Amino acid sequence: MDWRNDVFVAGRDGYHTYRIPALAVSSKGTVLAFCEGRRDSQADHGDIDLLLKRSTDHGRTWSDAIVVQEERGRVTIGNPVPIIARDGDRIHLLFTRDNKRLFYTRSDDDGVTWSPRRELTAILEGFDYPERVLIATGPVHGIQTSRGRLIAPVWLSDREMNRRHRDQVFTRIRAGIVFSDDDGETWRAGGLSVILRTKSDHRSR
């Protein structure tokens, strides 16, 4: 029998908009749906929490939302990147704060509770990208290789992107990875892509 469920619905449960989803399946078969809960508007910056819903029946029914990370006020907590451990029950999660700082947390009980967050922003200095202004993890989930390395995608920009597509002059975006070889205890910056350039106004350069 065909069936479909709306997991996060805009305007419900105290959030104006839900965006930036990431879906993963734990080693126990639990479906984990992460996203940003944007309280006041659909804007990329504001009072935004990092949320999770769990399904233990292959997506037929879902738990209430678990607030994985939040801060009071106009603070953006988002860009979730879960990584499911190949062995055992651990779930790793990377995310960002205000697209300026990088954090890590993990769960050892199938996503029900999460460890205190740990800041990883300092590792970004390992990228050959001296003009970094913005950092975002993702999109979507990371992976663990057959040798155990945890790999999470990220992107970097050297410009703010307020009111993008209207008065953004020039944005340079680099895609890259961060990785861990010790089950998430320590992380390092990996490689970067070539520069991708988008222009909305040539007059300033």
Which of the four CATH numbers 2.160.20.60, 2.120.10.10, 3.20.20.70, 1.10.3720.10 does domain 17-199 have? Answer: 2.120.10.10
Contact 67, 49 (CB under 8 A): yes
Neighbours of 171 (CB within 10 A): 18
Q: Pick from 65, 53, 58: which is nearest to 3 by CA?
A: 58
Q: How far apart are CA 12 and CA 133, in angstroms?
A: 33
Q: Where do the structural domains in the chain lie, given as residue ranges? A: 17-199
Average pLDDT, the chain: 89
Average pLDDT over residues 170-182: 86
Neighbours of 189 (CB within 10 A): 21
Beta bridge partners of 8: none
The pLDDT value given to residue 160: 72
Least confident of 4-13, 114-123, 137-146, 169-178: 169-178
- Report CA dihedral (129, 70, 57, 20) to the nearest 10 degrees: -40
The pLDDT value given to residue 131: 76
Beta bridge partners of 175: 155
Q: Pick from 9, 13, 12, 20: which is nearest to 45 by CA?
A: 20
- The beta strand positions in the chain, using DSSP E, are 17-25, 31-38, 48-55, 66-69, 77-84, 91-97, 101-107, 118-119, 134-137, 143-144, 150-157, 170-180, 188-192, 196-199
Residue 116: DSSP 8-state: P
pTM of the model: 0.89
pLDDT digits (tens, 9 = 90+) for 55-100: 999 999 999 999 999 999 999 999 999 999 988 889 999 999 999 9
- Pick the more confident residue, 167 or 16: 16
Q: How far apart are CA 141 and CA 21, in angstroms?
A: 9
